[in-house]
Amino acid sequence: MTPIWPFSVLQRRKYDREFNAALIVLLGTYRFARLSAEEKARVDREVNDILKVDPDYVSDIRQWRALDSIGAFRGIAMARLGIATGISGPAWQEMLRFWEETFLDLAIWERDMRTGFVLWDYRAGSTATADAKRYLRQHGLDIPDVEAANPWEMESLLGTASYPDAEARRAEWLEKWTLDPHPNDGPPAHPR
């Protein structure tokens, strides 16, 4: 059953926002992996500028656990720097049309607030995100069918291979999250 107006219009607008948010997050994640080392450094410096981090302190977003957040920040940073999307589809400005940078963002917040709004509209499991992944695959961007279970499976995307204590963090993560509820001596005793 097709929704009646105005619900059909609102439903389409919601889908468009989710689709474009997914494009930004996915391009920020998977397009970033294809950039040169110099361009990656420029993007991460721009992320620091978006976050308004002290220039003497380099915020390493690779330590974040949410790949979606990293992708959104890097996508906005690439748009601000004018780095090409790498696909023969919409340009950054067309994707960002729902989240215009306003005078109030800069005057009141003194920062680019679009990343938060993009993340607000991004839905990892939505139809719009699945359509965005399919669209980007059709345009030559290599996106895996299944997202990685932990950040260390995506070292090329996060850049953790060069992170100083990447192996220690990986071991800590695996120790914490590896499911081995009962070793070979039977089920665990339940406290009463």
Q: What is the pLDDT of residues 30-76, one digit of tens each?
A: 899 889 999 998 998 888 888 776 555 555 555 665 778 888 999 99
What is the model's pLDDT at position 149?
Answer: 47
Q: Could you tell me if residue 179 is inside a domain?
A: no
Number of domains comprising the chain: 1
Dist. CA 20–CA 118, nearest whole Å? 8
Contact call for residues 22 and 132 (beta carbons, < 8 A)? yes
What is the model's pLDDT at position 108?
Answer: 66
Cα–Cα distances in angstroms (integers) from residue 135 to residues 33, 61, 72, 125, 155, in the given order: 18, 27, 18, 15, 24
Residue type, 151: P
Dist. CA 141–CA 143, nearest whole Å? 6
Q: Could you tell me if residue 41 is inside a domain?
A: yes
Q: Which range of residues forms the domain containing residue 25?
A: 7-160
Cα–Cα distances in angstroms (integers) from residue 1 to residues 4, 8, 116, in the given order: 9, 11, 33
**DSSP secondary-structure letter at 27?**
I
Dist. CA 36–CA 192, nearest whole Å? 58
- Token pair 């895996």 in the structure block, residue: 144
- Of 151, 114, 147, which is closest to residue 130 (Cα–Cα)? 147
Low-confidence ranges of the chain (pLDDT < 70): 1-5, 53-65, 102-110, 145-167, 169-170, 172-192
Q: Could you tell me if residue 14 is inside a domain?
A: yes
What is the model's pLDDT at position 76?
Answer: 92
Q: Could you tell me if residue 13 is inside a domain?
A: yes
Q: Could you tell me if residue 37 is inside a domain?
A: yes
Using DSSP's 3-state secondary structure scheme, residue 117 falls into helix
Helix ranges (H only) for 27-113 are 37-51, 67-81, 92-95, 103-104
Angle formed at CA 135 by CA 96 and CA 66, multiple of 5 degrees: 60
- Residues near 159 by beta carbon (within 8 Å), at least 6 away in sequence: 40, 62
What is the model's pLDDT at position 47?
Answer: 86
Q: pTM for this one?
A: 0.71
What is the model's pLDDT at position 178?
Answer: 58
- Of 99, 106, 103, 81, which is closest to residue 23 (Cα–Cα)? 99
Q: Could you tell me if residue 173 is inside a domain?
A: no
